[in-house]
Amino acid sequence: MAGRIPDQFIDELLARTDITDVVASRITLKKTGQNYSALCPFHNEKSPSFSLNPNKQFYYCFGCGAGGNAISFVMEHDHLDFVEAIEVLAKDAGMEVPREQGVPDRYEQNSELLKRLSECATYFQEQLTQSPHKDKARHYLANERGLTGQIAKTYGLGFAPPGWDNLLKKLGTRAEHQEQLLQGGMLVEKKEQAGHYYDRFRDRIMFPIRDSRGRVIAFGGRAFGDEKPKYLNSPETPVFHKNLELYGLYEAKQNTPVLDHIIVVEGYMDVIVLAQYGITNAVATLGTSVNSQHFKKLFKLVDKVTLCFDGDKAGRGAAIRGLEATLPVIQNGKQVRFLFLPEGEDPDSLVRKEGTEGFLNLLDDSSSLAHVLFEHARSLVTLADEEGEAQFTQNAMALIQSIPAEATLRSLLIKQLSEQSGLSSETLTANAPVARHYDHSQPSSYTPQTSDQLHYDDYGYDQMDVGYTPHDYEDAGYTPYPDAGNAPVTGNKSGFGQKGLFKGKKDQGKWQGKWQGKWQSNEREHFAPLSQQPKLGRVAHATLCLLMHPAIAQEIDVPDPLLSGDTPERQAFSRVWRYFVKHPTHNAGHFLYQERNQELLYTIYELLNHPDASTKQKLGNAKQEVLDLVNLQSDALGLNSSIQRLKNRGNDAINNPEAQQELRALMEQLRKKKS
């Protein structure tokens, strides 16, 4: 049961534990008189300053000041919390940890599930030596990926042989075991036959995913060739939440002598190959972008985190999402840096090419958080003039505002921005936009769903299951919809799904709040319910067509008079058309992200919330609808301007031959419009 560990047990554990054995199993000790000395494992040093007194069961470092008993040593050396350290020492001493009355935690509640997952890991490892198909797997690991047997053992790599029920036959011989394997994501229930299962992972290299205590909680499976999906991850389960875990973190804690820096990479193989080259402090996310929860976990262990991404657009997009995730949780004394690899390279390929020293040199030259923040803020600027500089300043301040007020970094960045913009820190702070909220990583508590058990077939391409995320927005370096309620990120190039944008005021306000916070000056009422919204005019319809089909903007010429309208609808059309002509690969999400005009945004939000939005999304002739509007409005603008010009000329126009001819042409156009 989860609860307080009795003090009496802790005293007994320490009495039965020899600190000399504990320390000697982890570092090299040298007898010096009555004590032992060693190079301190908690800081880099060339001469021993670490001293252990076996009589007092106490250690102390005269270099860094670290000291304590066996429990504190295991906590610091193995990077464990207090309870975890107690459990490690108790296991070594052959003792069972008692708990005072309390509520069992999720791991104790699912101890049998964890046992089944551990058995799965053992089974997959055995198949590397026992399966009739083992040569295929061993050739892939050794020859194609260049891995040694030792590194494969360190990370527990295994092999799921081809076949539909190998694991099921081996470990699912009892009904309750089948239920546990199903709950743990290892089996899939047949859609046509309730109660009948097959193996989720088949003919794949297997990567066990461990929690901070080393318990197997999930798996990743890698296909051998071009099969899809290339990577297949376990679904969410009672013990596995991919937004909270990092692949390789347990191994990094175990195998890095002084863990003060963690490198976040994108793939399992990146982690493993770096470790094979001696860089053991790398971890990888599990099919998701690095998020604020990851940073919170990492900041508890280390003071420095480097985000290392591939040198392509997708990698830079992932880096920006990492930037946005770290800003709300950055702390004093913590450092985040960014390493952008050369085009076409990833950590796996680069460390093989450059070697360990070369890769470490690249890490030393990585970019600071400040540099990446300002570069990203400038990349969103569309004008190379004073207006563009103002836009850059607003972009940068919006990012800086999301940093906690107590963080020294916030003040330093405002000072740097002041030097770049020529504005005082006070002016920048006073006119700062509302902070954007990027920490959208809070996982909901797990509730088993039918879909968790039924719909994770290898060929279903569930994006949150197969180890990749949608990349419609990577070229701009951010995701338009940061986990925003009902606003989907898949479906079409506009960034809007098939079922409407919002389900009601609550969701709509929540989604809008992710981007704008509270309206700064002109606070608006929520939009009218869908059933009460008025019919849209032609200009609004055309604007919706552009938002839903942005690529058509470049195929349509819009005359200047139509772009200089003074109504909100005409201004919205003009702004949207100009934006997509300049950014043909962007979508509506990008537009909303960069737009700063609150009144214009309100108009756009109203359009996107209108029932007609879903209709425009399905149009096959969106270009023609916009062209019709342009032609109609152009004609109308031409008539109106000509009539106004003739009126301004007064009676003199009647005696002017050119004016008379123009008047006859206008009369003819009016006649045609009435007919």
CA 523, 525, 530, 536 dihedral sign is negative
Q: Mention every residue, 6+ apart, whose C-beta is less than 8 A from residue 221.
A: 160, 200, 201, 204, 205, 206, 207, 231, 232, 233
Report which DSSP code applies to 475: G
Per the structure block, which two tokens stand in for 539? 């200009």
468-483 mean pLDDT: 31
More confident residue, 102 or 495: 102
Query: Is pLDDT at 95 greater than 70 in this prediction?
Result: yes
Give me the CATH topology for the region 108-233: DNA primase DNAg catalytic core, N-terminal domain (3.90.980)
In this predicted structure, what is the pLDDT of residue 525?
36
In this predicted structure, what is the pLDDT of residue 646?
52
Which residues, in sequence order, are bridge partners of residue 200? none
Q: How confident is the model at residue 436 (pLDDT cuts 50, 70, 90)?
A: low
For residue 534, which amino acid is it?
A: P
Architecture of domain 373-430: Up-down Bundle (1.20)
Q: How confident is the model at residue 485 (pLDDT cuts 50, 70, 90)?
A: very low
In this predicted structure, what is the pLDDT of residue 451?
31
618-638 mean pLDDT: 73
Distance in angstroms (rounded) separating the CA atoms of residues 644 and 667: 14
In this predicted structure, what is the pLDDT of residue 439?
45
- Residue among 574, 579, 602 nearest 591 (CA): 579
Share above pLDDT 90 across residues of the chain, in percent, rounded to a whole number = 36
If DSSP states are collapsed to H, E and C, what string results for 385-403? CHHHHHHHHHHHHHHHCCC
State pLDDT tens for residues 54-77.
Answer: 888 989 998 888 888 999 999 888
Distance in angstroms (rounded) separating the CA atoms of residues 408 and 404: 9
Q: How confident is the model at residue 522 (pLDDT cuts 50, 70, 90)?
A: very low
State pLDDT tens for residues 104-121.
Answer: 555 567 889 999 999 999
Distance in angstroms (rounded) separating the CA atoms of residues 261 and 298: 9
Query: What does pLDDT average to over the chain?
Result: 78
142-170 mean pLDDT: 94
More confident residue, 70 or 454: 70
The region of weakest confidence among 203-217, 439-453, 571-585 is: 439-453
In this predicted structure, what is the pLDDT of residue 484?
32
In this predicted structure, what is the pLDDT of residue 450?
32
State pLDDT tens for residues 204-248.
Answer: 999 999 998 889 999 999 998 777 888 899 999 999 998 889 999
In this predicted structure, what is the pLDDT of residue 558?
80
- Residue among 308, 10, 296, 280 nearest 151 (CA): 280
The yes/no answer on whether domain 249-365 falls in CATH 3.40.1360.10 is: yes
Count of CB atoms within 10 A of residue 420's CB? 15
Supply the pTM of this predicted model: 0.58
Q: Which of 273-277, 445-449, 493-497 has the highest mean predicted lDDT (pLDDT)?
A: 273-277
Nearest 5°: phi and psi at 308?
A: -115, 115
| CATH number attached to the domain at 7-93 | 3.90.580.10
In this predicted structure, what is the pLDDT of residue 513?
39
Q: Using an 8 Å Cβ cutoff, are 287 and 467 in contact?
A: yes
In this predicted structure, what is the pLDDT of residue 98?
85
Query: Is pLDDT at 480 greater than 50 in this prediction?
Result: no
The region of weakest confidence among 74-83, 185-194, 606-615 is: 606-615
Helices 111-130 and 175-183 pack at an angle, to 10 degrees, of 90
Distance in angstroms (rounded) separating the CA atoms of residues 326 and 292: 6
In the chain, domain spans:
7-93, 108-233, 249-365, 373-430, 485-675
Query: Is pLDDT at 584 greater than 60 in this prediction?
Result: yes
Q: Mention every residue, 6+ apart, whose C-beta is less than 8 A from residue 461.
A: 228, 229
Query: Is pLDDT at 532 greater than 80 in this prediction?
Result: no
Q: How confident is the model at residue 637 (pLDDT cuts 50, 70, 90)?
A: low
In this predicted structure, what is the pLDDT of residue 158?
96
For residue 116, which amino acid is it?
A: R
Helix or strand (DSSP H, E) at 217: strand 216-222
The region of weakest confidence among 242-246, 459-463, 586-590, 643-647 is: 459-463
257-265 mean pLDDT: 92
